[in-house]
Structure 1
Amino acid sequence: MADILDQAVAALRRMPAADRESMAQAILTVTQGSPTLDIEPDHLPFVLEGLAQLDRGEFIEGDPEGLIAAAFRRHLR
């Protein structure tokens, strides 16, 4: 079985080109130690709730690759 990096790259390759670009940029931002994106104060409670859901092991059903790509596209403009 492929390691997690191979799985992630394979998932990225299945995404539409625009989504791949957004995700690739996000990965480069994180790996290069670039500053993180600011969170709008109005959005902070929702972000914190999402992190709490992750801590509790609650995950989104459906198409996680598409959902994540959409989130990054929205914030990387």
Structure 2
Amino acid sequence: MTKLLDQAFDAARALPPAEQDDIARVLLRLAGDGGQEVALSPEERAAIDRSKAAAARGAFATDAQVANLWKKHGL
């Protein structure tokens, strides 16, 4: 295991069990284990539909909006 992956696991261990399970599902999908489907709530599905519709319209954030978002979160 790489040092970075080990750090990621350490960080995940500090999270609540439900968030650890979310991370585990993503990791399994990325590692090629497609056996588990990710269950989405109706609200999550609606948010995805809104995002797809916005993308189809070409409604994307400007570079300035993205930079402000990163700045807001200290990144």
Q: What's the TM-score bracket when you normalise by the shorter of the two chains? A: 0.3 to 0.5
More RCO (CA 8 Å, sep 6+): 1
Scaled by the length of structure 1, the TM-score of the pair is 0.47
Structure with bigger gyration radius: 2
